[in-house]
A and B are shown apart, each in its own frame.
Chain A
Amino acid sequence: MGERILWKEGLVVRHGVVEIAEHWAIAISGLILLVTGIFELPMANRYYITSLPGLGWSGDFIKSLYIHYAASVVFIAASVFHLLYHGIRGERGMLPKRGDIGTSIQVIKSFFGKGEEPPFQKYLPEQRLAYAGMAVIIAMLILSGLVKTYKNLYAPDMPLTLVLWATWIHNIFFVLFILALAAHIGALALKPNRPMFRGIFTGTVRLDYARRRHPLWIAEMDLEEMGRWPEVRLPEGNVSEGREAEAGDLDSLHAEIPNDGEDGRGGPAPKMRPVAEEPSELDKYESPPVPPLSPDTDAGDREKEQRDA
C-alpha cells in the first residue's frame, strides 16, 4: 500500500499506485458502462444524442453493446483484482466497522455545524459504509451482467425466470449505481472532505490535514513503522502539542468513537486533542504544510533512504 509520511513535503501517502489504478480503471470503465447502458435503454435516438458530434454510433445497439462489453472486461477484472489483491494482503481498512452508522450520522451533523467530528482513521465511517454499498451494487451488476452475457452468447433460450431476474437486477442496480456515483462525487461538495480529493490523483494528502482529521491513521502508521509509540518532536505551536504519545493513546482515541468501547478496553479516557488548539474554521486546512523535521530523526533518515533507493 505504501502508506507513509513524506516529512519533507509535508504529505502523507494515502493511496499507492495500485489503488489509484484500480480506482480509475473501475471509475472510467464504470462511466462508459453507465453511458452505453443508457444508450441500450434505448435513449440515444429518441433524445437526439445520435446527432451530437462523435456520438452517431450511440443509436446502434450492436456497437454500444460492443463498447459495453469492452468496458465490462476492465470493470470486472479490476473489481475481482481488488477483492483478491487486498483480501490476500489483509487490507480491511475500508470494510465497515461496528458503530459506523452512528458515527456517520454524527459526522454528517458536524458538516452542518452540529457538534464536533470524532477523530478518523484512514477512512471516514461513511466512506466505509459507502464502500460496502458500492461493492454490493457492483457485485450485483457484475453477476447479473455475466448471466446476460452468457445468454447473449450461448443460451438465448435459457429459462425466462432466470433471464428476468438477471435483467431486473441489472436494471435496478444500474439506477442505484447512478445514485451511489452521484453521492460519491457529491461528497466533495462538503468542504471538509475536499483535502482528500487530491489523494485519488496524486496518492497523497497533506500531513497537517491528516493529523487533524485522521489522527488514528497517523498513529497506526507510526506504530507500524516504528514498532513502538512515536516520540515525535514537532516545532512548537504546530500540529500536535504534547504529541509524546503513550501506548494507551490509540485506545483512548478509539474510546472516543461512540459504540466503539464495546471491546472491553473502553472506560473513561482522557480527551485526545489531535490538533493543538486550532480555530475550528474550515480554512485551517489551508495552513502551510508541516516544516520538515530535523534530519537527525529516524523518520527523516527513512525518507531519505526511500528516496535514494
Chain B
Amino acid sequence: MSRPGRAIAAGEGRLATLIDLSLCDGCTDRAIPACVAVCKEINKDKIPPIHEPIPVPWPRKKVEDWSRRREVFDRLTPYNFIYVHRAEVEAGGRTRTVFVPRRCMHCDNPACATICPFSANHKYENGAVVIDPDLCFGGAKCKSVCPWEIPQRQSGVGIYLHILPNLAGNGVMYKCDLCRERLAAGKLPGCIEACPRQAMLIGPRKGIFAQTDERAKAMGGYIYGKKENGGTSTLYVSPVPFAALNATMKKQPGRPDMKAERRRMADTDRMGKAVLQAPLYGIAAGVVGAFVSLSRRKDRRKGGEREHG
C-alpha cells in the first residue's frame, strides 16, 4: 500500500491520498521541505514568460504578479502548490510540534471546477481536479468558492491577453494538479515520491480510506478531509485534534486554515434538482392544459350547435 503499483499510479479508477501527520517532521533538517522542493522543481516551467507590462484591469486595478517572488515556499502561490505549516499544539499536558503539508484537497464535488464558467477547471475520473492553463481567464471564481482558497492567480499570462485584457480576465489560476502528467506516465506525484518519511500515500480510494481509518484507530487520532466540503480525496490523519491544529492557523492569502468546512454548493442542490425536474413540470402542465382547453372548445361547439339546432 505504501508504494502503489504502476497500474494505480497510472490513474486507473478513483484515487485518494493520505497525509499522516504523525510521520511528517517538516524536514526541519533541510532548507525547504522535500515535498515542497520537488513540487517547485517539477512545476518550475509551468507558467510561461509573463507579458510585460502586465495589462492593468479596469475598473478594479488589481494585478497579481508572483513572477519576481518565485522562491516563496511558505505559502501557496502560482509558483508554489504545496507548503508545510508548523503548529505548536498543547496536547496531553505537553507542547507538541505538528507539521501539516497543505495543498489542494481534490474535493469529491469541487465547486471550483463545477462553477468555472469556461470549464477550464475539471475533476477527472481519477479524482484529480485540474486547471487547464490554456482555457483559464483568471477570474478567480474557483478561489472564491474554495473553502481553503487554494488556487492562486498569476496575471499577465493566458488566453485573456488575446481577447480583452483590460476588461475581462486577469491571468491564470494555478494549483496542485496531483501531478496528473506523472500519474499518466506511471509515476507517483512528486511530493509523495520525495517524502523521506513516507508521510504521504496515494492509492485506490477504497484502500486509502480503509488505511486512514486503521491508522487513526491505532494512534487514537483524528481524520480531516473525509467530510469537509462534502468529502475530498485527501485524508489527513493526526494524533492531535484538528480543532487544535486549526487554532494555530490564521486564514490568510495562500495560507488556508483547517475548519470543519461544509460544502456551500449543497445549498443549491435542492433547487438544482427542481431544474432537472422542470421539463417534467412543463410536460405535465402542457399536456393537461392543452386537453382541458380542447375539451372546453369542443363543449362550446356542441353547445353552440344545440342552440342553433
Name A's B-contacting residues (CB within 8 A). 18, 40-42, 45-48, 61-62, 65-66, 69-70, 72-89, 142, 145-146, 149-153, 156-157, 160, 163-164, 166-168, 171
Identify the B interface with A (CB < 8 A). 57, 59-60, 108-111, 113-115, 117-119, 122-125, 127, 139-141, 144-145, 168, 264-265, 267-269, 271-276, 278-279, 281-283, 285-287, 289-291, 293-294
Q: Is the CB of B118 within 8 A of A171?
A: yes
In the complex the two chains form, is B272's CB within 8 Å of A149's CB?
yes
Determine the chain A residues whose CB is within 8 A of the CB of B294 once the complex forms: 88-89
Are A157 and B144 closer than 8 Å at their CB atoms?
no
Which of B140, B274, B282 is the one whose CB lies under 8 Å from A80? B282
Contacts of A70 in B (CB 8 A): 271, 274
Chain B contact residues: helix, strand, loop or mixed: helix
Q: Which residues of A contact B127 (CB under 8 A)?
A: 157
What is the bound-complex CA distance between A42 and B138, given in angstroms?
10
A153 partner residues in chain B, CB cutoff 8 A: 269, 272-273, 276
Contact, CB under 8 Å: A77 / B115: no
The answer to whether residues A76 and B59 also contact, given A42-B141, A88-B290 and a CB cut-off of 8 A, is no
B282 near A150: Cβ-Cβ < 8 Å: no
18 contacts between A and B (CB under 8 A): A40-B117, A41-B117, A61-B115, A62-B111, A62-B268, A76-B282, A77-B281, A77-B285, A80-B278, A80-B279, A80-B282, A81-B286, A84-B290, A89-B290, A153-B273, A156-B114, A163-B119, A164-B119
Of the residues B122, B281, B285, contact of A163 by C-beta under 8 Å: B122
Shortest Cβ gap from B275 to chain A (Å): 5
Contact indicator B60/A82 (Cβ below 8 Å)? no
Tell me whether A76 and B110 are in contact in the complex, defined as CB-CB below 8 angstroms, given that A41-B117, A85-B289, A160-B124 are known contacts: no
Task: Give the A-B contact count at a CB cut-off of 8 A.
Answer: 145
Please name all residues of chain A whose beta carbon is closer than 8 Å to the beta carbon of B140 when the two chains form the complex: 42
The one of B57, B114, B268, B282 that contacts A151, using a Cβ cutoff of 8 Å: B114
Contact B276 A146 (CB under 8 A): yes
**Smallest distance from the beta carbon of B149 to chain A beta carbons, Å?**
13
A160 to B269, CA, bound (A): 21
**With A85-B289, A157-B123 in contact, do A45 and B60 touch (Cβ < 8 Å)?**
yes
Q: How far is the CB of B233 from chain A (nearest CB, A)?
A: 11
Once A146-B276, A153-B269 are accepted as A-B contacts, the answer to whether A83 and B286 lie under 8 Å apart by CB is yes
* B100 to A: closest C-beta gap in Å: 26
CA distance A46 to B108 in the complex (A): 29
Interchain CB contact under 8 A, A150 and B276: yes
Known contacts A84-B283, A153-B272, A163-B122: does B114 contact A46 (CB below 8 Å)?
A: no
Say whether A167 contacts B119, CB under 8 Å.
yes
| Given A61-B145, A171-B117, also A146-B289 (CB < 8 A) | no
Min CB–CB distance B196 → chain A (angstroms): 33
User: B residues within 8 A CB of A40?
Assistant: 115, 117, 141
A84 to B290, CA, bound (A): 8
Chain B residues contacting A171 (CB-CB under 8 Å) are 117-118
- Asked if residues A81 and B285 are in contact (CB atoms below 8 Å), the reply is yes
**B115 contact set on A, CB distance < 8 A:** 40, 61, 65, 152
What is the distance, in angstroms, from B267's C-beta to the closest C-beta of chain A? 6
Complex: how many Å from CA A48 to CA B145?
19
Given contacts A41-B139, A76-B275, 8 further A-B contacts (CB under 8 A): A46-B60, A46-B139, A62-B264, A69-B272, A72-B278, A151-B114, A152-B109, A156-B113
Complex Cα–Cα for A42 and B115 (A): 10
Which one of A46, A48, A82 has the greatest number of beta carbons of chain B within 10 Å? A46
Which of B113, B265, B275 interacts with A72 by CB under 8 Å? B275
